Every structure is written in C-alpha cells, then in structure tokens.
Amino acid sequence: MAIQNKALSKDLIFQAIADSFKKLNPLVMMKNPVMFVVEVGTLITLILSIKPDIFGVSTVGRGYNVAVFFILLFTVLFANFAEALAEGRGKAQADTLRKTKSETIAKVRQKDGSYKEIASTSLRKGDIVRVDTGEMIPSDGEIIEGLASIDESAITGESAPVIKEAGGDFSSVTGGTRVVSDYIIVKILTDPGESFLDRMISLVEGASRQKTPNEMALTTLLAVLTLIFLFVIMTLVPIADYLKVHLDVATLIALLVCLIPTTIGGLLSAIGIAGMNRVTQFNVLAMSGKAVEAAGDIDTMILDKTGTITFGNRMASEFVPVADVSEQEVTLAALKASVKDETPEGRSVVELAHKQGVHWDQQEYDGAESIEFTAETRMSGLTLKDGTEIRKGAVDAIKNYVTAKSGSVPADLDEKATTISKAGGTPLAVAINNKIYGVIYLKDTVKPGLKERFAELRAMGIKTVMCTGDNPLTAATIAKEAGVDDFIAEAKPEDKIAAIKKEQEEGKLVAMTGDGTNDAPALAQADVGLAMNSGTMAAKEAANMIDLDSDPTKLLSVIAIGKQLLITRGALTTFSISNDIAKYFAIIPALFIIALPQLQSLNIMGLASPKSAILSALIFNAIIIPLLIPIAMKGAKYKAMTANKLLTRNLLIYGFGGVVVPFIGIKIIDMIVAALHLA
C-alpha cells in the first residue's frame, strides 16, 4: 500500500507532545467545550497557586492548589496529546503522498499541433498533454488517444502496472503516476490544487476534516451536560454555607472537572480522526468523515455481480461426462486439451483437473502442435506428434468436427449442454480424434470467502442485493451460491437507482460500488458510494469514497470500519459516563463528611482523607485519558452481531467496567497519595 499504517515512532510522539502545548491556545480549545472548561479551571487554579486568597479566605494550603493545577494541566495536555497523535499519523501519511507530488514537466499541445514543455503547476483544465514512456503524468485527466501501461504504485502501492486506454471505463489517469510503455494523449480535468492527489493529502492530514453529524450531536450533548454540572456546582456553594462547610475554589473546580464527561470530551476528536485514518490505511479515500460514519449505519448493500461477487472470468467448475465415458476420462481429456491454453479459462481447467488428482506427463505432449482458438473454428487444443488430435470448444463446433471425422455424437450431449446453459454457465465440449468425451462446465465463479462475509453482514442486520445483467435463472444460481439476500436480474443502470431509492424511501441507508460512467448517478444517489480508482472520472466525482486498489469487495471492509468507529465512540462515551459514578462516591462524602458524619457510610472505598479523596479522583480522571488512547486510535474490538447483542456486550464491558475500574483505580491512587503524605 502507498498509505501505510504508521507505527507510533519517537518522532511522531515528540511532535504530538509539542502540538499538545500549541493546542492550549484558547481559540483552539473553544472548539471542545468540555476541555475548554477544564482549561479555564486550570488557569484559575494557577492564579490560586500564586495568590491562594485572591477569591476570599482559603482553608487549603498553596501546595494543594499547586497539585490541583498540575493535575488539571496534565488532563488538558493528555486530551490534546490524543488529538495531536491522531493528527500526526494523518500528517505522516500526507508526507508520504507529497513525495509523489514533485515538480513535473508537462508537454502541452499547442494550436499548431506542436508540443511545448511547461511546469505541471501551470496546467489548466482543458489542456491537452502528451505523456511518453517513462514520464510522469502531470495531473488528473482522461486519455483521449492511445493505450499505455500505467504504474500507479505511487498512489495505490500496487507494483503491477495497469492498462489504460481512450474510451470506456478505464480512461481516467491520476497525476503522479507513471507511463511504463507506449504513449497517451491526456485531456487535463483539474486546475492546480484541485487534483486527486491534492485532495488526498488534504484529507489524510485532517485539514479538511469536518465533524460528522453524530459527532456534532455528541459534542452538543457534552456541552449541555457540562453546563448542567456547572449549575450543580454553583448550587453547592449556598448548601455548603448553610451547613457551615467552607468549599475552596480549587475543590469546586476539581469537583466540576470530575463530574463532567472529560474522558470522552478529551478523546472524541481523536476517535473521529483515527476513524478516517483507518479507512485510509485500507487504501480507501473517504471524501468526508460523514461518509465513514454513514458506512457504519448502512442497512442495505447494492453490489454488482461481475468483479465484485464473482471474478468476472469464466472458470472451470465441473467436468460432465457423456454416454459411457467416466468422469476420470473426461477430466483427463479436458486436461489434455488445456495444458498449453494460457487463457484464464484454460488455466482454470488445468487447476481443477489437478485438484481432482488427474495429471498428464509432460513428456507425452512435448513437441505437440498447439491449436489456438479462432473465431472461425471456435476450438482450441493440441495435435500430438503421433497424430492424435485433442480439441475443446463450442458444442456445435465440436459436433461438426467429430462428424466430419465419421465419429458419432452422444445422444445426451445436447441435454447436458443445455442444462449448463440454463444455469448461466458456458459448456465446452471435449473430443479426442473422433470421440466426444463430455463437457467442461465454465461459470463465473463466486469469490471465496464472500458467503461468510455476507453472513456476517446479515448478522449485523445488513441486507445484500446483487445486481446483474444475467437472466433470472443464472442470477438466482449465483445469488444462492454467494449467499446474498436478494438479486436484481437483467439490471439496467436505471434499475440500480430505482433499487437505491426504494430502500431509502423505507428509511434505510444504502451503499454501492461502481466504476463506470453509467454507475455515476447511482453512486451519487447512494448514502455511501465507493468508486474504483481504475474507473472513470465521472464515477469518482459522484462517489464519496474512492478505492485506490480498485477492489469492489473493499466495501465490506469499509462498512466494518464505519461500524467500528461508531462502536468506539459509543463504548468510550459509555465508559466515560459510567466512571463518573465512582468519582461521586469519592468526592461528595469528602466535601461534607465533617458537617455530616452520616455521609461516612458513602465512603465505601475507605479513602484516607477528604483532600486525598479529591486529589485521587482528579488524578484518575487525568490518567485514564492516555490509557484509553490505544482504544481510540485502534478502535474498540468489533464483532459481527445484531445491534441489541452489541449494545448488551458493550454495556457489560464498558458500562460495568466503567463503574468498577475507577473504584479500583481511585483506591490505589489514594493509598499512594496517603503514603506519600501529599494530602
């Protein structure tokens, strides 16, 4: 892959630490209401550390205020570090991509037909350029003349070059890729700064990242909770005065910070950025975080058959004998007819025969004449040195061939060939000299492992629909073998749009893949449209995701990443809110235990003193953020299951765990604080 999963190197960590301090800028912090409140509290405790009685009489020493200040400062820095670390990984990926965007010379066609060399940065939309063997394609465009082998490893990481030519669905080229052979004439389709590579760099480094709707909704909820707890703290002051309990400002700030959901507030941005990074590490370019999030909420997947569910090449799946011929004999005959056939179909025949334990000694066909397939004969095969003729081909062609040699046609040949055709397969008859041995059943084979992947999607409540131009009988056969929930046979481009709209009218989110210009309307209509990088520019512009590897099945992985993003955010939100319970039991009794000794029964952790209880809760509140960074970056563990099961599982792990872990953590910290006489 061109976009690698960068390990947490020392340089990345040191840069994130430096960025953590830069992010202390209040204008930056205001974008995160929860952490902005913590930063304001940090500033107030800094003032108290310098002048403890600035807000009135203080019953705590300077050391207590200093301790609260440093704990709050580290709380803010840890939250900034999580965000900076996620951004740093994106910037590292962007730096890798920038290396491919060097100053390139472009040969631009002039009005008189001659070519002039200019810098690629001077190219404009509509310019016509020529790119020869070994030269870099200067910008995004479409081939209007020629055919060439293109090395796209700078973008996709795939070393094998791909063939691109004028016309059709494989005419678009990307700036930064290189022509390996021949030449092409390209029409430039983007202005400087708007190319695919420019957008890619901007997106992976987070410069264009916008908060998703769910993220904005959660941010609003956290802001409201923060405001509510601020009012709660304000009401504690008159209550404390009535009970003749003096509450210092530093203690009130500590209580506020522990009550508000600082854990998820500190990690929320990092979760979103890391989710985008995970998609990018799969060589998928998401045009927005909204697209990734939508992938996690998908209800229906619309999938093309050819190239997505099936390989797109006809492959041998069975050897069908005729008359009195055994299966072993027809398998050997098919193998003999295919040993020198280098087409995908021919290689699949040899592979299937070998899997069935049938082999043919190479010495027996050394020096044999290879008969290539032609449109006229519709046959291929071998003629051995001893004159033996081995042929395979269209059923009627083989029948005519055998009849011409005074051979007979088996009575059941047509019946077996028709059965294969009705099932959507292609029958190839096999003959040696004047005898027909049987039929090779060729079919568009379903990709291995897809049935299990579709079963996982079904377990998550996602419906899969296959679109194909095949007849209903063939479509039904492939659909059953692949394990999809439904299919649309004899589908036209407008049928895909109709299918998407029908699902959306029922309130469902729909995803689909495509690569052609005729797929563009459907990709634009779908909630998640994944376009192939090898496809047309129209398809890539209509989609909200682009797969750089041009692997249509990548949509399955994208949905899993989207699910993981939503699960991670939900899990850490659950944990953050749950662990506040332990903080209540630590701090509330500590505040009023002197005035109300009855509250001692709430001190179930047996904390040493009111001050140690407050400091311990505050320290735990700070250190839990960096401890959860790995989960925010990698994502919560994800398993395919229904929403109800997933909710139950996460409530048990992150809900119950969020209650238990702080009780243990605060108690251990309190024992250390008491032992060191810090409070």
**Across 474-578, where does the E strand assignment appear?**
486-488, 510-514, 528-532, 545-547
Is 649 annotated as belonging to a binding site?
no
Neighbours of 12 (CB within 10 A): 17
3-state secondary structure of 381: strand
3-state secondary structure of 467: strand
| Annotated active-site residue in 304, 547, 551, 580 | 304
| 396 included as an active-site residue | no
Is 98 annotated as belonging to a binding site?
no
Distance CA(174)–CA(532), nearest Å, equals 13
- For 376, phi and psi rounded to 5 degrees? -75, -50
Closest by CA to 627, choosing from 597, 669, 567, 566, is: 669
The DSSP-derived string for 121-133 is: GG--TT-EEEE-T
Closest by CA to 604, choosing from 620, 581, 623, 621, is: 581
Is 389 annotated as belonging to a binding site?
no
Closest by CA to 202, choosing from 83, 98, 86, is: 98
Burial 24-55 (b: 16+ CB within 10 A, else e): eeeeebeebbbbbbbbebbebbbebbeebeee
Residue 379, H or E segment: strand 379-383
Is 191 annotated as belonging to a binding site?
no
In degrees, rounded to 5, the angle at the alpha carbon of residue 358 between the alpha carbons of residues 355 and 359 is 110
Residue 430, H or E segment: strand 426-432
- Packing angle between helix 413-422 and helix 395-404, nearest 10 degrees? 170
Written as one letter, the residue type at 153 is S
Is 109 annotated as belonging to a binding site?
no
The two three-digit tokens of residue 547, written as one number: 């797969």
Chain position carrying tokens 């249509």: 552
CA atoms within 13 A on the CB side of 41: 34
SS3 content of the chain, % helix, strand, coil (to 5): 50, 15, 30
Is 445 annotated as belonging to a binding site?
no
Is 58 annotated as belonging to a binding site?
no
Is 248 annotated as belonging to a binding site?
no
DSSP 368: P
For the chain, helix (H) and strand (E) counts, in that order, are 24, 20
In degrees, rounded to 5, the angle at the alpha carbon of residue 323 between the alpha carbons of residues 320 and 325 is 65
- Show the DSSP H helices in 356-394 as ranges: none
549 CB-near residues (< 8 Å, 6+ apart): 1, 156, 158, 283, 533
Burial class of 205 by CB neighbour count within 10 A (0 to 12, 13 to 18, 19+): buried
Is 327 annotated as belonging to a binding site?
no
Distances, alpha carbon 308 to alpha carbons 443, 444, 530, 553, 635, in Å: 15, 11, 12, 6, 27
Is 364 annotated as belonging to a binding site?
no
Is 19 annotated as belonging to a binding site?
no
The sign of the dihedral angle between the CA atoms of 287, 293, 298, 301 is positive
Is 30 annotated as belonging to a binding site?
no
**Across 281-363, where does the E strand assignment appear?**
284-286, 300-304, 310-321
The sign of the dihedral angle between the CA atoms of 235, 241, 243, 246 is positive
In degrees, rounded to 5, the angle at the alpha carbon of residue 326 between the alpha carbons of residues 422 and 426 is 25
3-state secondary structure of 320: strand
> Is residue 218 a contact partner of residue 267, using CB atoms and an 8 Å limit?
no
Is 347 annotated as belonging to a binding site?
no
Distances, alpha carbon 569 to alpha carbons 260, 293, 508, 563, in Å: 17, 11, 22, 10
- Write out the catalytic residue numbers: 304
Binding site residue list: 341, 345, 373-380, 392, 515, 519
Binding residues for Mg(2+): 515, 519
Binding-site positions for ATP read: 341, 345, 373-380, 392
